[in-house]
Amino acid sequence: MGSRGDGTTDGMGTLFPRGALFCPGDGVAGGGDDLRAPCVVAMLKPGDRAPNFVAPTDDGHTVALSDYVGKKVVVLYFYPRDETMGCTREACLFRDHWEEIQSRGAELLGISSDPPERHQRFRAHHQLPFPLLSDPKGEIREAFGVAGGLIPPRATFVIDEGGVVRMAYRNQWNVGAHVRRALEALGEPPRDPGRRPDGTPGAPPP
């Protein structure tokens, strides 16, 4: 894997600096991108400030990234479309690790161009415990540098309490890696002093 030291990867394992221009069909944007798509700005990298956004959710509310600043880490994952095979598997993997993500002090948000009504059905069908955000015009994708292509890019960001990107990962096909990378970026959960490191009950405090 090539590396430029910033932790930002695409589906081919190639790393790009923030602000670099590339064409999704030039062999570096992760297989499956549209050869006819225009060049786009490379995705945000660790150390960049995440742009604020406001988006409707599947339950009729709105969510702003600024809601979490100073309060919680955010795991924000972009995916192509509800009820497709890869996106369903990814959502279910995030669902299965949702409590673990929360135990590390983070909030999980999924986002695609699907409308809230479709998100609502998708969320109910697979019992997803986290909100799904709608980005119908791709404006949030563009702000994070993951727009373009016949198949919208699959990317995950971990954003700290200060609104700064701490992890940025793009891989179109290895959906399980998104969950793993997010958990690695979040680190170990705080340990309950009444439990041993392996999670089993320990001796009561004196």
Active site residues: 87
CA 205 to chain centre: 39
